[in-house]
Structure 1
Amino acid sequence: MKVGLMGGTFDPVHIGHLIAAQSVCERLELDEVWFMPTNVPPHKEQAPGASPRQRLEMVELAVEGHPHFRASDMELRKGGVSYSIETVTMLRAEHPGYRFTYIIGADMVRYLPKWYKIDELVRLVTFAGLQRPGYDTGYEGLPDAIRQAVKLVPMPQIELSSTLIRQRRALGQSVRYMVPDRVNHYIEVNRLYEA
């Protein structure tokens, strides 16, 4: 079984996340993509606006009905700061024989050498680096061992972020069509990200 891992705060999950997952799923012929909301992200200083449970519930709503997408609460159950090496080690223990591919944004490719225990991590997983038109991922400058673990996957240009969605909600603006309909409804019902 070939599984893509899509980690992030998903605060909230939006259509850009889903399009990225679909692009990698098709290009690398993955069997599934698991969306894994982080408990405490190691690289973000600001706490998420929605609770861990709410972020997971939004992911569940976003992937519901998709034949290859799954929501995973593993990092939330684990608690603490979410480091990729710990997540992957746990997943490989729970699912021996599965091959995992970590899906990362174009901006994260160049920072892979700074990831916690990256030398161990590249022996356990491959990385799918999302390529945006006109964006230099820094792929060519990566150390050999890391570069060999990275596959660049082209993705359409989508100027959308969870930050933008939170900002629009704080201003009382609609985020319809930026998030799946069911996620939009959830955000409105729970009055998330309002000023």
Structure 2
Amino acid sequence: MKKVGLLGGTFNPPHLGHLIIANEVKHALGLDEVRLMPTSIPPHKSNPSDATPEQRLRMVELAVEGTSGLFASAFEVEQGGVSYTYETMKRLKEQEPESAFYFIIGGDMIDMLPKWYKIEELVKMLEFVGVGRPGTSGKTVFPITMVQIPEIELSSTLVRKRVESNGTIRFLVPEKVENFIRLEGLYGNPTNTK
């Protein structure tokens, strides 16, 4: 049976923290691959300078390019609409009945698991894998496999703020992602001349 890790999120933009999580979990659990899967519509309201689902997917593709075992998944972007993990997993399991899925979440999401849509059904469909995140408890009543990773206090919000203020994002995101952000004029990038 193929062991597939899934790391969902908005990836607005993807940063090195996302890649560290995906790579560490892949190796710790001996997964065949980890797919980074951007949501189609984030649950929060978008800013006009936010990246579109297609731009976020492209950035994920650039971020994992040339990295063995890490892949970008267009699954939720192609589905469109608000992305619920339960609906995504139902469709994925129908398409790939021979795969075992490991859904990777950070400490902040572990704390919120009781509020997830159809969480009782979801825990029967996949194995949750939790990674620590600064400032979160990481405790839950639901079954979860914890993986220790190097914790880095890095967020997409920090990257967006840096871009907006024309600060450096070097070593925070892969170089190809930074180039894409600058080229597309994302996140209120003042150097955008479009």
TM-score greater than 0.5 by the shorter chain: yes
Q: Which residue of 2 aligns with 1:18?
A: 19
Name the CA distance, whole Å, in 2 between partners of 1:13 and 1:171: 18
For the pair 1:113 / 2:114, whether they are aligned, the reply is yes
Gaps of 5+ in 1: none
Change in 2 beyond 3 A, CA 1:56/1:100: same
Name the CA distance, whole Å, in 1 between partners of 2:34 and 2:89: 14
Residue aligned with 1:192, SS: coil
Q: Which residue of 2 aligns with 1:131?
A: 132
Residue aligned with 1:111, SS: helix
Gaps of 5+ in 2: none
Could you state the TM-score of these two structures normalised by the residue count of structure 2? 0.92
For the pair 1:188 / 2:182, whether they are aligned, the reply is yes
Change in 2 beyond 3 A, CA 1:79/1:176: same
Q: What whole-Å deviation, never above 9, does each CA across 1:8-53 have from its counterpart, x for those lacking one?
A: 11000000000001111011111000111101123x2445800111
Q: Which amino acid aligns with 2:175?
A: D
| Match runs of 1:91-170 below 5 Å | 91-132=92-133, 135-139=136-140, 142=141, 146=142, 148=143, 150-170=144-164
Tell whether the 8 Å contact from 1:132 to 1:156 is kept in structure 2 after alignment: no
Residue aligned with 1:128, SS: strand
Q: What whole-Å deviation, never above 9, does each CA across 1:47-81 have from its counterpart, x for those lacking one?
A: 58001111011000111111101111110111110
Could you state the TM-score of these two structures normalised by the residue count of structure 1? 0.91
| Count of residues in correspondence between the two structures | 187
Q: Which residue of 1 aligns with 2:166?
A: 172
| Match runs of 1:48-127 below 5 Å | 49-127=50-128
Residue aligned with 2:103, SS: strand
CA deviation after TM superposition for structure 1 residue 122, in Å:
0.3
Residue aligned with 1:188, SS: helix
Identical columns (%): 48
